[in-house]
Structure 1
Amino acid sequence: MSGGLGRQRTLEGLLGRAGDTDGYAVYAAVAKQRAGRLHVAHCWAHVRRKFLECGGPEADVAVRLIGERYQVEREYQTGPHDVGRLHALRQEKSRPVVSRLHAWALAVRALPESALGKALGYLGSLWPGLTRFLDDAHVPLDNNATEKALRGPVVGRKNHYGSRSRRGTEVAAILYNLLESAKRCGVEPKAYLRAAVLAALHGEPPLLPHLHAAT
């Protein structure tokens, strides 16, 4: 959008500011309490959605650049799974794309309350967490897999009313966490539950899913 239309928002004025848009502030608060031990990584899928909702040629630039980043991840999926290879690929191909997006966002002008202004605000307020994937290859571009894993409990929410007590709800929450963690670790859920129950019957502490997967 052209300048000279009153107050304008740019990414430059938003970098390092938290809570400016609808990023869940609790995550930043927890990370602050655990300074140095916990770092927040933010989701590129949510950022892409903000720009898709804007429409228009300027927002399309951001969508295209974010898409290039996902193309790099797809390229990684075609070869052997190796964290070192992914890190090198991100340095070679993703980092330049991130720099281009950063430069574009600094140059764009938009009214603060416009759709594009809000999308830029969202991008800027979460920038440190959005770029964390460049330095840590274990960090995915988005949290789509986590959200997908949560759909089961959400769809079955009415069934959980049968817990009838706080203790019942806590047990259900523990089981959901263990089962979904087992899936994420590549462990068959029924096999994991069977191993955990047998360990408990023998007076042994059950292994958590990621430890069970390593055995």
Structure 2
Amino acid sequence: MGSTIDLKIAGCWSHARRHFANVTKALGKEKAKGTLAEEALKRIAAIYKLENELQHLRAEERKQQRQLKIKPHVDAFFAWVKSHLLEVLPKSETAKGFTYCINQEKYLRVFLDDGNVPLDNNAAESAIRSFCIGKANWHLIDTIEGAKASAIIYSIAETAKANRLKPYNYFEHLLTEIPKHMDDKNLDFLDDLLPWSKNLPETCRK
């Protein structure tokens, strides 16, 4: 029997700030001064600033510091948003931003309880950007199995990059080592081939 994975949806603070950024962009910096949109951006920026100071910490330490330093700012942000919701026109961009934040509050708070969860999904979007740009070149992948195989390869490549490996060298190492174990029933050898394994050769590392 397979094990059940407990998945949680985490909100993206970059998306939360988007509507407010649209307001200041449309008005210009001078006209945007003193607006609720500008204040919202300042409050979100303060959360990002504190988060950036925790990047060097391990996950558990980051979680503790988030609870101690960032949670009060997050609590204050949502309290502030709710207190000003009725002060803006329902169809305005600022109102859309407020409504988005309120609807996503449960998900935007997830990062506070897990040091491994990032504040936004910018890194993930950056990772898939090259594939989106090159999608016109993928027309030859015209079967379900081909798409699955491609997804696996792309995932391995991006995981290698995230672990500061050279993708080409890493794939070369995999294709050299895996065939040596094709008849093995014990798959423990795969542990040494994972992107974060300390047993990978230095030629795979940046």
TM-score by length of 2: 0.77
Looking at both structures, which has the greater relative contact order when contacts are Cα pairs under 8 Å and sequence separation is at least 6?
A: 1
Segments of 4+ in structure 1 off by > 4 A?
none
Cα deviation per residue 1:145-166 (whole Å; 9 max; x = unaligned)?
0000001111111111133544
User: Which of 111, 120, 130 does residue 142 from structure 1 map onto?
Assistant: 120
Percent identity (aligned): 31
* Unmatched tracts of structure 1, length 5 or more: 1-33
**1:213 aligned onto 2:191:** no
What is the match of residue 185 of structure 1?
163
What is the match of residue 103 of structure 1?
79
TM-score by length of 1: 0.74
Max Rg structure? 2
Tell me the amino acid that sits aligned with residue 161 of structure 1: H
> Matches of 1:62 and 1:142 in 2, distance apart?
17
In structure 2, the CA distance between the partners of 1:164 and 1:90, relative to structure 1 (3 Å rule), is closer
Tell me the amino acid that sits aligned with residue 198 of structure 1: T
Count the aligned residue pairs.
Answer: 179
User: Which of 32, 47, 52 does residue 21 from structure 2 map onto?
Assistant: 52
SS of equivalent to 1:68? helix
Give the superposed CA RMSD.
2.4
Cα deviation per residue 1:43-78 (whole Å; 9 max; x = unaligned)?
00011112111334101111101100111122224x
Q: Is the Cα contact below 8 Å between 1:163 and 1:169 reproduced in 2?
A: yes
Equivalence map 1:70-89=2 (5 Å):
70-77=48-55, 80-89=56-65
SS of equivalent to 1:137? coil
**1:159 aligned onto 2:137:** yes
Cα deviation per residue 1:164-185 (whole Å; 9 max; x = unaligned)?
5444333222211110122123
* Unmatched tracts of structure 2, length 5 or more: 25-31, 199-206
